[in-house]
């Protein structure tokens, strides 16, 4: 996807997007190629899957990193505040 389209879709200023895309490119999570005057970016899903796999295996030591998300009717209900 061209950088301009990504910026417009996300509502992010071009300068901010360029910063983030450069870091993602250096990290190997996305690929960049030039087509004329445009820079085209594509996700490297194999690299992303490897990163997520590494984090799941090593980051949390096999334990859940975050509480499970609530789904269904209970998720729509506001949670009561606990006062001390």
Sequence spans of domains, the chain: 3-65
- Predicted TM-score (pTM) of this structure: 0.64
Sequence-separated (6 or more) residues with CB below 8 Å from residue 17? 3, 6, 7, 10
Class of the CATH domain delimited by 3-65: mainly alpha
pLDDT in tens, 25-82: 999 999 999 999 989 999 999 999 999 988 888 876 666 666 666 665 555 555 444 4
C-alpha dihedral over 36, 41, 45, 51, to 10 degrees?
130
8 A C-beta contact, residue 17 and residue 39: no
Q: Phi and psi of 36, rounded to 5°?
A: 65, -120
Smallest Cα–Cα separation from 21: which of 38, 36, 43? 43
pLDDT of residue 27: 95
């Amino acid at each position: 996807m061209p950088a301009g389209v990504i910026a417009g879709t996300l509502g992010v200023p071009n300068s901010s997007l360029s910063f983030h895309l450069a870091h993602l490119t250096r990290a190997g999570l996305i690929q960049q190629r030039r087509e004329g005057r445009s820079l085209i970016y594509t996700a490297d899903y194999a690299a992303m899957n490897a990163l997520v796999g590494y984090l799941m295996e090593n980051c949390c030591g096999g334990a859940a990193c975050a509480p499970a998300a609530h789904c269904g009717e209970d998720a729509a209900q506001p949670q009561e505040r606990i006062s001390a």
